Amino acid sequence: MPEPNRLDVLRCADQDREVVATLLNNAYADGRLTFDEHAERIARAYDAKTFGDLTALTTDLVVVDPPRPAPQPLSAPTPGYPPMPAAPPRSGLPVTPGAFTGGNALLSTFNPGRIGVVAGEVTLNTWLGETRLDLIGAAFERRDTTIHVGGGLCDVKIRVPEGVDVNLSGVSLIMAESKVTGLLPRPDGIRLTLVGTLIMGELKVVGPAMDRRRYERFIR
């Protein structure tokens, strides 16, 4: 009898269940799940005990390296399906219309490109993939900005401009690594706090004080 995948038998946490719930919500909003399918899978996601339980809920929703459109808000689902309420920001504060609130990378690369406005709370879910987030030239909705990160077997890269300070103390690492380098913070600048859990992955945040060529090519 073949030995089960180590990740499949690893116990999952609330953060991991939320990652899959977000993916299911997006699939419902895209019209890839019916109302009944979505409701049944959401219930199973929140009852999941292991990563294997969660993986079984998304295997028919994943396409490797697809040409993906920009994520659509949950408040605008495909016509013909009952609307799903958009999740309120954790802080309870309103989000600027059109502000960047995050995205998902599942067996793929998430790279939103140039960002206009960064919401006060951002969520990045990266499973068996890569996230590349470039905050150069972006405006920040709030001085104190939080990025919620979650994922496994992943690579998360974030490039920040001058004046941004970064705090990684809220990130739990399980057989994973994190690194912050090249920051040029200012006392009156943006305070970026990252929280969440990464399993067997790497998190890198770089600022403009690192080698210029590496900084310019960092997220390409």
The pLDDT value recorded for residue 5 is 55
Query: What DSSP letter does each residue of 2-22 carry, written as one string?
Result: PPPPHHHHSBP-HHHHHHHHH
The pLDDT value recorded for residue 20 is 83
CA–CA gap between residue 109 and residue 117 (Å, rounded): 21
List all residues 6 or more positions away from 143 whose beta carbon is below 8 Å from its beta carbon. 189, 190, 191
Q: What is the pLDDT along the chain (220 residues), one digit of tens a residue?
A: 455 555 678 888 887 888 888 888 888 878 888 888 888 888 888 888 988 888 888 888 864 443 444 444 444 443 433 333 334 455 555 556 788 999 999 888 999 999 999 999 999 999 989 999 999 989 998 999 999 999 989 999 999 999 999 999 999 999 999 999 999 999 889 999 999 999 889 999 999 887 777 777 765 5
The pLDDT value recorded for residue 12 is 83
| Contact status, residue 24 vs residue 33, Cβ threshold 8 Å | yes
Give the strands of the sheet with 202-206, arranged side by side. 109-110, 130-134, 155-159, 202-206, 177-181
Q: Tokens in use for 160?
A: 């920040």
| Contact status, residue 195 vs residue 148, Cβ threshold 8 Å | yes
The pLDDT value recorded for residue 81 is 35
CA–CA gap between residue 9 and residue 114 (Å, rounded): 38
The pLDDT value recorded for residue 72 is 47
Domain definitions of the chain by residue range: 1-87, 100-217
